[in-house]
Structure 1
Amino acid sequence: MYSEDLLKRLVSELRGKLELLLAYVSTSRYEGLEVDREMAMKDAKALYKAGEKRLGTDEKTFIRIFSERSRAQLAAISAAYHDMYGGSLKKAVKSETSGKFERGLLTILQCSENPAKYFAKALHKAMKGLGTDDTTLIRIIVTRTEIDMQYIKAEYLRKYKKTLNDAVHSDTSGHYRTFLLSLLGPNN
């Protein structure tokens, strides 16, 4: 039915994405703010060798580092990568990966470097244009309310010149609106 080469390629392509997803959700990580600078430099070097320095990409190295390191450690790795190689880790991920794998790595990286910026952008996108991505809106507001919502709200205001509360108010209605606004708290 399908050529064996096509099947092998599909399995190979999907395996990397599945490994990333499974590794990221199943690995227990230290999520504190402490950073090991020496490890950050070592990981930056490993990512460089796995990507930009070679022909092709060693996805397993990207998966291992992105799934095992804390957000603070990934931010330190990104800074070390820039200091050591003059380019951004984000650009390296974009040039060395593609598709859902690229999007997954970029999401992890963006969340590690500036979670408030990432979530403000995702909330804006969920409410932009016709219709609302209710799943995204609910997921972010419910999961971030007690963690860092005040920072997300400040970033949203800075970036979009409108409060998050006002955006939610104008994009929702009824009990749904009341529920989301109660989670967001006062309009600061």
Structure 2
Amino acid sequence: MVGTPTVYPASDFDPEADAAALKKAFKGLGSDEDAIIEILTNRNNSQRQQIAAQFKTMYGKDLIKELKSELRGNFEDVIVALMTEPIEFQAKQLHKAISGLGTDEATIVEILSIHDNDTVVRIAQEYEGLYQRSLESDIKGDTSGTVKRLLVSLSTGHRDESETVDPEKAFADAQTLLRAGELIQGTDESAFNEVLCQRNRSQIRAIFAEYENITGHPFETAVENEFSLTSKESLLALVHSIRDRTEYLAVRLHDSMAGIGTDDRTLIRIVVGRSEIDLEDIKEAFRLKYDKTLAEFIEGDCSGDYKKSLLSVIA
């Protein structure tokens, strides 16, 4: 499925002029945040990498380090995210989710479930290069039980990606899942893991339809009944991302701004991470689901240059 981005390559791109304009924006007391936003949110990541290379050639300085010394807080985080190569950005986000106080399983499920096999493998390779430890070993060391098995399976990047649907196998898998869960005392968790982490997404949606035909209720009800706490939340998130990745990410964005405080890391990760992929589609799913635009939510939840930079990326 080809998505619609919000950020495109600048057509009259001149990395030398952009590097000079950024250098000028750093001069004097404070920096010209509007100029920084204007340049960096209107270039794609490949062009930003060229600006960084040009900046180093012209001034002998690392552009990201210069930006970090000039900027602060969430605004700095948005700009650094925009300047970071996408695979590296996702690897660093996984590390933060694993290495912080407690484990942010929701973020790990998000990153591993929305990307294709090749991207997951590249993220895992980048992770190992950055931290000298494998993503799998860090997941194993930080999680346990059902969640550990689920996340390890997702981190291998071995899902069938054929997207061919076999109705007979879908029916058989639905029956297997029913026997592994609602028809027995206790739960055979391995059956859920095998189906949800190995089958292609179209096939899994066919399994969900067969399951509902047999039982009269959605597959999510089985997850609600058979699992608890983090296992339940992680499986429900995976099911949602398989059913409709765009809506899943719209909900993730909404939830990052709902309630007390803002989950800025998730907000920035999805806005920046999907800006060149399908953020326009996510915006539309958001509007349909919540009857308010993503921009309106950001307006009400963020402030200052942080707000300006996010609004410019999603425009």
TM-score class, shorter: 0.7 to 0.9
1:42 has 2:172 as partner = yes
TM alignment of 1:1-188, pairs within 5 A = 14-31=144-161, 33-185=163-315
- Identity between Structure 1 and Structure 2 (%): 39
1:38 aligned partner, one-letter code: E
Equivalent AA in structure 1 for residue 251 of structure 2: K
SS at match of 1:34: coil
Cα distance between partner residues in 2 of 1:145 and 1:127: 18
Q: CA deviation at 1:91?
A: 0.3
2:8 paired residue number: none
Residues 27 and 68 of structure 1 are in contact (CA less than 8 Å); yes or no, is this contact kept in structure 2? Answer: no
Partner of 1:6: none
Change (3 A) 1:17 1:184: same
| Pair 63,150 (structure 1): closer, same or farther in 2 beyond 3 Å | same
Contact 1:116 1:152 in 2 (8 A): yes
For residue 10 of structure 1, what is the aligned residue in structure 2? Answer: none
Q: Is the 8 A contact 1:47 1:61 kept in 2?
A: yes
Letter matched to residue 250 of structure 2: A
Shift of 1:141: 1.6
Q: Which amino acid aligns with 2:156?
A: S
Q: In the alignment, residue 177 of structure 2 is paired with which amino acid?
A: L
The code of the aligned residue for 1:40 comes to: A
Q: Distance in 1 between matches of 2:263 and 2:188?
A: 35
- 2: distance between equivalents of 1:27 and 1:36? 22
Q: 1:120 to 1:77 in 2, by over 3 A?
A: same
The separation in 1 between residues aligned to 2:161 and 2:313, in whole angstroms, is 24
Give 1:31 deviation, angstroms: 3.8
Aligned mates of 1:139, 1:37 — CA distance in 2: 37
**Which consecutive residues of structure 2, in runs of 5 or more, have no partner in the other structure?**
1-142
Could you tell me which amino acid in structure 2 is paired with residue 98 of structure 1?
S
Instruction: State whether residues 40 and 73 of structure 1, in contact with CA within 8 Å, keep that contact through their aligned partners in structure 2.
Output: yes
Q: Report the count of equivalent residues.
A: 173
Give the letter aligned to residue 75 of structure 1. Answer: R
Counterparts in 2 of 1:76 and 1:25: CA distance versus 1, 3 Å = same
Report the aligned-residue RMSD.
2.0
2:257 is matched by which residue type in structure 1?
M
Q: Aligned partners of 2:176, 2:265: CA distance in 1, in Å?
A: 37
Q: Distance in 2 between matches of 1:25 and 1:57?
A: 23
**Aligned partners of 1:147 and 1:44: how far apart in 2?**
32
- 2:281 corresponds to which letter in structure 1? Y
Task: Give the TM-score, by structure 1 length.
Answer: 0.82
Instruction: Name the TM-score, length of structure 2 as normaliser.
Output: 0.51
Structure 1 residue 94, shift from structure 2 partner = 0.7
Q: SS at 1:116's partner residue?
A: helix
SS in 2 for 1:139: helix
Offset at residue 167 of structure 1 (A): 1.4
Distance in 1, matches of 2:244 and 2:295, equals: 21
Bigger CA drift: 87-96 or 161-170?
161-170
